[in-house]
Amino acid sequence: MAAKTILITGVTRGLGRVMAEEFIRLGHIVIGCGRSEKEIVQLQTQFQSPHNFDIVDVADDQAVAAWAREILARHHPPDLLLNNAALIARNAKLWKVPAQEFSDVIDVNIKGVVNVIRHFVPAMIKQGRGIIVNFSSGWGRSTDAEVAPYCATKWAIEGLTQALAQELPSGMAAVPLNPGIIDTDMLRSCFGSSASSYPLPHEWATTAVPFLLEINSADNGRSLTARWW
């Protein structure tokens, strides 16, 4: 398979981190971002050019715009854009979720995804190809108590991705993806110690990454669930 340019948000840990490592291992070029300086510097040292890792907060539209200008001046537009970065609020009944915590989840999980789409997708359209994968969740298709803010954002991701799919030119695709249930910091936040009964991120990545590489324009608008077993 020819090397693809793969843009991943939220590469400092969890699924984003293992996807970056696995795509690179398979010979692809990875462009990634996250907010944690220490982890981004470590990725920059470990994976040098043509890979590119930067400190970017996806909730900051101006920062994403500047990042996109810099990346698109030096790289092809992404063949695969993975909107992976997300937050979950601490488990709580909806009326007990502090206003700032609710806003933060909306700002990253919805507005952050759209900021990345706003600044990278026009170049993908100009190039005439590219796949956009917006990370959803089982909680983008069902609900549970004490995770309402997160559910709201992932249901939004399902809706906005379906609408985006109707706007793209032929040859491209946008899909919401439920990655499955994986033992990451996010899962530990909402599942507690029972998170340990789920696969570790690197176990997930060995089958999920080939699955991501198979997504093509025929999948446009389909709600997908990663194959990870």
Ligand X SMILES: NC(=O)c1ccc[n+]([C@@H]2O[C@H](COP(=O)([O-])OP(=O)(O)OC[C@H]3O[C@@H](n4cnc5c(N)ncnc54)[C@H](OP(=O)(O)O)[C@@H]3O)[C@@H](O)[C@H]2O)c1
CB of 211 to ligand X, least distance (A): 14
Nearer to ligand X, 118 or 129 (CB): 118
Q: How far apart are CA 153 and CA 136, in angstroms?
A: 9
For position 33 contacting ligand X by CB under 6 A, the verdict is yes
Identify the residue among 84, 115, 161, 220 touching ligand X (CB under 6 A).
84
The contacts of residue 22 (CB under 8 Å, 6+ apart) are 202, 205, 206, 209
**198 has catalytic annotation:** no
For position 144 contacting ligand X by CB under 6 A, the verdict is no
CA distances (Å), origin 97, targets 166, 176, 193, 225 = 34, 26, 22, 29
For position 5 contacting ligand X by CB under 6 A, the verdict is no
For position 179 contacting ligand X by CB under 6 A, the verdict is yes
Q: How far apart are CA 127 and CA 130, in angstroms?
A: 8
Please name every residue paired with 161 in a beta bridge, in sequence order, or none if there are none: none
Q: Which two tokens stand for residue 178?
A: 């439920």
For position 35 contacting ligand X by CB under 6 A, the verdict is yes
Which residues in 44-83 contact ligand X (CB under 6 A)?
57-59
Residues at the site binding ligand X, with contacts judged by CB under 6 A: 9-16, 33-36, 57-59, 84-87, 108, 112, 135, 137, 179, 181-182, 184-187
Which of the residues are catalytic? 150
